[in-house]
Structure 1
């Protein structure tokens, strides 16, 4: 493989990460719209959104895993492959935390008198902040390691 192929693979990876961020934004906006349909929640519409978001994340993940394979097998860069493995694990955790947060937000809306849900929101938000910091660190390591040979 020629170095330009390596650069193209790296660029594609960055593009996919940007797509992931956009997909999260759409997921958040969709959930906020869903909460506004209370108390007769438009669950069918929200269920369709979750399906579309899941499809988008699956497509992104599949492509990222292929890039991970290419970096390891085709470019002999197990270091970069390892960064992607760690990133995928943190992205999975982020999605789980995001879904958990959305469920708790609905509980707050449905049970405003129960203040324990507010604490849960703060706890989950703290976990999400830590997760985003870890993701950022992995991305910085990836960027540094991918550019050092370029």
Structure 2
């Protein structure tokens, strides 16, 4: 009888150890959304677009650097990129020292687009703009 109790205890111990180990491994291997934490500088265009994409369930990673590198880094990361604006895409420019990114809110029938952005018109401030079709064609987009 003692042997039976001992074997039961050993079996229960191994079961608990295996289950705990398996649970910890599952937690460690769970894919957390890339949008879990925003490491971009607060109130910059990159910070805003990172948050906006997370909000619309199209997360992007933290490691793309300054806005001027986003198009290249997005392409390397496997994101689709192109020259046609679509809603919820990222507008990207290499102009200026850091470049600039914005979020495409709407594409109108006439080809103009409405974008939302931070740190464009005023330092560390939110704003929206409507760009004409010809102006929108000058930018690159990350889908």
Specify the TM-score bucket, using the shorter chain as the normaliser. under 0.3
Task: Compare relative contact order (CA 8 Å, sep 6+) and give the higher one, 1 or 2.
Answer: 1
Q: TM-score, normalised by structure 1?
A: 0.23
Specify which structure has the higher proportion of helix: 1
Q: Which has the higher strand share?
A: 2
Higher alpha-carbon Rg: 2
